[in-house]
Structure 1
Amino acid sequence: MRRIGFLFLLFFCLASAASAQITVRGVARDSLTNEPLGFASVFLANTTYGATTDAQGRFELRGVASGPYELLVSYLGYQLYRRAILVQDKNLNVNLRLLPTSQQLAEVVVRPHKNNPDDYRKFEELFLGSTTFSQQCRIRNPDDVLVDYDPQANELTATSREFVLVENRALGYRVKYYGLHFSVDFKRQFVQFYGSPIFEEMRARNTRQQRRWAENRQHAYHGSQIHFLRSVYENRVEDQGFRVQKLRIVDNPRRARADSIMQHLLATLPPGQSLVLPDSVQRHRQEPRSYGYLYTRPLPIDSLRQLVADTCQLRFHDLLQITYLPEKPDPRYRPEVPGQLQPGPTPSEEVSTLYLQVPAVQIFPNGRLAHPLAIYNDGYWGFEKMGEMLPYDYIPPRP
C-alpha cells in the first residue's frame, strides 16, 4: 500500500513562549438561568493550561503566556463552549455562557451497529501513527469513536461523541482530543484530521520514567514542524540544523497523453471487445505522473521569511524540501519510492516536503500559523502523528 500523504490540521490558538505570564480568570454560567456551573472543565486548546471551576463557577488559569488562544469549556449536559481570546500584557477576565443540550430524544445518538473492526483498526493506525513513539499510544475510549467507511467514495471518516482520550506513554501525556474530524481519501491517498486537544501531564512512577519522558519530548520536538516554524520566526533555520531547498513538481506530458489516449479508446471500445493498447502507450503509462526537480543550493532565509508590519510571514514559491540534519529518522519510517509498490528502506535523513496553499501566512513566535489550512506537509512530517504531538506551550531545555 502506498504511503498516504498527510494534512495535520489543528484549529487551536497558541501562546508566545517568550512573553509575560498572565492569569486568565472568569465565571462559567448557564446561558438561560445565569446559574453558576461548578466543576466544569476549562482549558486552552493544544496546551497544558487547564482548570476546574469551583462551586460558584469561578476558574483561574495561571502562568499563561501572552498571545491568541482558543478557550474551551466542557460540562455534562451542555454544548462544548468555544471562544477565541487574546491574552496580552495584563490579566484577562472572561464571562462564559454555556448552552444546555436539547432535552429532546433527538439529542441521543444511537448507533445501528458497532464499528467494523477493520475500519476502526485503519483509523487507529492512521490517527495514532506508526512511529516508535506511536506504538506506545493507546485510545482509552474506543467506544466513543464513530468510524464509517463509504465504499462508493472510498473514504473513511471518524468523529467522537465528546472527545478521544489518547494516552501517550512515550511522552507522558494524556490527551483529550475534542471535536475530532478525521477523514481518509484512499483515491487521493490523503489523510487529514483536526480538533481541539488538551494535554495533561501523566504522573511518573519514578524519576527514571520522568527523565525518559523529558528525553523523548526533546527528541519529538527536534526536527518537528513546530521546531522549523519557530526557527523561521527567529531567523535561525540553519543554526537549528535545517537545510531548506526549493522543490519544483512538473507534470509528465507523456504520461498524461497516454492516459488520455487510453480513456478515449475505452470510451469508443465496442461492447465485448478487449482493449489493446499500443506499445508506446503502455510504456508511457508506466512512467510517473510527474517529476520533481530539486535545487541543490539551500534557500536563503529571505526566500522563506518576510517581515510585514511587525509580523513574520512565511512566504515561498513552488515547494520546500526540508531536511533536519542532526538526527536520523525513526527506524520504522519507510518512504514511498516512485514507480514501486513497496516502500523503500529507511533513509539516512529526515526529509519533509512543505506545500503553501496561499501566497503568505503569518507565523507566531511559538510556531503557530495564523491559518493552519495554509500548509500541507508530506514526507517525514506526514509520518509523525499523535506519537510525537506536543503541546504548544512546550519549551525544550536550553543546551
Structure 2
Amino acid sequence: MSYFRLLLVCCGVFLSVAAQAQSKITGIALDSVTHEPLAFASVFLASTTLGATTTEKGEFEFPRVPKGTYDIVGSYVGYRLGKQTITVETTPLKLTINLAPTGNQLGEVVVRPAPNKPEEYRQFAQLFLGGSTFSEQCHISNPDDVRVILDDSTQELTARTKEFLQIDNDALGYRLKYYGLYFAYDKEAGSITYYGQPVFEEMKPRDEAQRRLWAANRLTAYTGSFMHFLRCLYTNRLEAGNFLTQQIKVTPNPRYESAQKKREALLAAGAAGAYSPAEKDSLRRWSRELPELATLYSEARPIDSLRRVKPNGRTYMRFGGELQVAHFGEAPDPRFKQQMNTLGYSRTPFPAQRQVSRLQLADGEAEIQADGSLRNPLEVALGGYWGFEKIGEFLPYDYVPTGMPTPARPAAPAARPAVRPVRRR
C-alpha cells in the first residue's frame, strides 16, 4: 500500500464551525537585523484564505480568526520567511514577526541553478498536482521557481522552492501560493511527502455560472475528504457524515519466505520459456504471495477507540495498526483506476457508491482541531482514495460547505472479519 503524508456533515455542524469562538490578531512585521518595519509585506495564516498586507508602518490585522492553532507566516521580497505557531483563544493576540534578509547585496552576482530536466519536472508536477479530474484543471504558473532533483543512487525525487510555487485551480476557483514547499517521492517505498506554508486566494469568477460551478466543485472535493472525516471525528458525527471506520490487523505472511525461495530456485534452475505448464503455474502462485496479510474486521470501530478528549477540550485521533475508512454516497473520481478495497461481510449489502481510504498513525495518536486540521500533519499517512486526492481537491481549512444533503446511514455490518492480502513495503 502506498501512502502520502501531509503537509461537517450537516447544518448543525456547519453552524458550529462557522460560529465558533473567534479572536483578533494584530501585529507588526520587522527586519530582524535593523528592527525597521517592513511596509507592504504579506502576512497570512497557512492553509487558509486569511491574508493581509502590512501598512506603511509594517502593521497588520486579522479582525476575526476562529479558535485554533495556526502557522502565521510573513513574506517579503529579499527576506526569508518569518513563521510562528500561534494558538487563538478568545483573548486578542498582538504579534511581532521578524523576517531575516537573505544577504544578497546590490551588484552581487546571483548564480541561478541549472534548469530542471523536463522529464523530472513533469514527474514532479504529476505527482504533486495529482491525477484526478480536478487536478487536470490545476496549472503551475511559475515552474522556473521550483528546483526538481532526482537522486541517481536512491531514485528519490525531491523539489523545493526558494519563495513559493503558485498553482491556479480552475476547478475550485482558488489560487494557491505554496511557500517553502518541500516535496519528496520515494519510488521504492511508493510514498509521497510534502509540506510547506500554503495560502489560498479566491479567484474572480467570470460570471454567475462559474461561481456556482466552483461552489459545487468545492462541495464535491470536500464531501468524503480527510478534512470532512476529521471534522466528523472531532464532533462525534461519523455516522451522520456517512463514514464507516474498520480496524485492519497486519500480520506477517508465513508462506511468503518459503514461496520466494522456491520461486528463486526454480528461476535459477531453468531457462526463460523452458518451464513446464506445472512449473509456470507454480511460479504464478508463488509470485502472488505477499510479505504481509491484512485482516479486516467488518464491525465499525466505536468512537471511544478512535478519539480521546482531554478535560481541557483538546481532541486526539488514536488507534493502533491501520484504519480503513469508507465514505458512502459519492462515486469515486472516474480517473481513480485502483480496485476499491473490500468492506468485508455484511448481512445487508453496503451501498455501491463508496470511497475507501487507509490511515496510519506514526505514534498512535495525533491531535485534531475543529476545522479538520492536524496540529502535526506528518503524524498521519494516507492511502487508498485519500492517497489519490491531492492538490486538485485541496481546500482551505476555513472552508465551510453549504447545501450539503443529509446523508443516508449505511447498513450496520456484521462483526465478521475478512482476511485480504495487501502489498506493503
Is the TM value for this pair above 0.5?
yes
Q: Specify the alignment match of 1:359 in structure 2.
A: 364
Q: Specify the alignment match of 2:323 in structure 1.
A: 320
CA contact (8 A) 1:19 1:65 kept: yes
Provide the C-alpha distance between the structure 1 equivalents of 2:47 and 2:144, rounded to a whole number of angstroms: 23
Provide the C-alpha distance between the structure 2 equivalents of 1:8 and 1:388, rounded to a whole number of angstroms: 15
Query: Deviation string for 1:157-197 (max 9, x for gaps)?
Result: 11112110000011100000011111111111111111110
1:48-59 equivalent positions in 2, closer than 5 A: 48-59=49-60
SS of the aligned residue for 1:37 comes to coil
Over aligned residue pairs, what C-alpha RMSD do you find?
2.4
- Could you list the structure 1 runs, at least 4 aligned residues long, displaced by more than 3 angstroms after superposition: 104-109, 257-263, 277-283
CA contact (8 A) 2:328 2:353 kept: no
Provide the C-alpha distance between the structure 2 equivalents of 1:217 and 1:283, rounded to a whole number of angstroms: 45
1:9 aligned to 2, 6, 10, which one?
Answer: 6
Question: What percentage of residue pairs aligned between the two structures are identical?
Answer: 44
SS of the aligned residue for 2:83 comes to strand
SS of the aligned residue for 2:269 comes to coil
Query: Deviation string for 1:214-235 (max 9, x for gaps)?
Result: 1111111110001001101100
Amino acid at match of 1:217: R
SS of the aligned residue for 1:187 comes to coil
Deviation at 1:109, TM superposition (A): 4.9
1:377-392 equivalent positions in 2, closer than 5 A: 377-392=382-397
Deviation at 1:9, TM superposition (A): 1.7
SS of the aligned residue for 2:397 comes to coil
Deviation at 1:107, TM superposition (A): 9.3
Amino acid at match of 1:299: R
Q: Specify the alignment match of 2:304 in structure 1.
A: 302
Q: Specify the alignment match of 1:343 in structure 2.
A: none
Deviation at 1:296, TM superposition (A): 1.5
1:176-191 equivalent positions in 2, closer than 5 A: 176-191=177-192
Deviation at 1:368, TM superposition (A): 1.8
Q: Specify the alignment match of 1:341 in structure 2.
A: none
Deviation at 1:147, TM superposition (A): 0.7
Deviation at 1:32, TM superposition (A): 2.0
Provide the C-alpha distance between the structure 1 equivalents of 2:199 and 2:355, rounded to a whole number of angstroms: 28
Q: Which runs of 5+ in 2 are unaligned?
A: 8-16, 342-351, 405-425
1:275 aligned to 268, 286, 299, which one?
Answer: 268
Q: Which runs of 5+ in 1 are unaligned?
A: 11-15, 267-273, 339-346
SS of the aligned residue for 1:232 comes to helix
Amino acid at match of 2:40: F
Provide the C-alpha distance between the structure 2 equivalents of 1:175 and 1:8, rounded to a whole number of angstroms: 19
Q: Specify the alignment match of 2:153 in structure 1.
A: 152
Amino acid at match of 1:313: Y
Amino acid at match of 1:125: Q
1:216-365 equivalent positions in 2, closer than 5 A: 216-259=217-260, 275-276=268-269, 283-309=285-311, 310-335=313-338, 348-365=353-370
Task: Between 186-195 and 196-205, report the one with greater CA deviation.
Answer: 186-195
Amino acid at match of 1:197: P
SS of the aligned residue for 2:299 comes to coil
SS of the aligned residue for 2:300 comes to coil
Change in Cα spacing, 1:295 to 1:106, as seen in structure 2 (3 Å) is farther
Amino acid at match of 2:392: G
SS of the aligned residue for 1:249 comes to strand
SS of the aligned residue for 1:275 comes to helix
Q: Specify the alignment match of 1:269 in structure 2.
A: none
Question: Aligned residues, how many?
Answer: 374
Change in Cα spacing, 1:227 to 1:294, as seen in structure 2 (3 Å) is same
Q: Specify the alignment match of 1:37 in structure 2.
A: 38
Change in Cα spacing, 1:234 to 1:109, as seen in structure 2 (3 Å) is farther
CA contact (8 A) 2:263 2:286 kept: no
CA contact (8 A) 1:7 1:377 kept: yes
Provide the C-alpha distance between the structure 1 equivalents of 2:92 and 2:365, rounded to a whole number of angstroms: 32
Provide the C-alpha distance between the structure 2 equivalents of 1:374 and 1:165, rounded to a whole number of angstroms: 26
CA contact (8 A) 1:252 1:289 kept: yes
Provide the C-alpha distance between the structure 2 equivalents of 1:160 and 1:95, rounded to a whole number of angstroms: 25
Q: Specify the alignment match of 1:73 in structure 2.
A: 74
Provide the C-alpha distance between the structure 1 equivalents of 2:28 and 2:308, rounded to a whole number of angstroms: 41
Provide the C-alpha distance between the structure 1 equivalents of 2:129 and 2:174, rounded to a whole number of angstroms: 14
CA contact (8 A) 1:128 1:137 kept: yes
Amino acid at match of 2:318: R
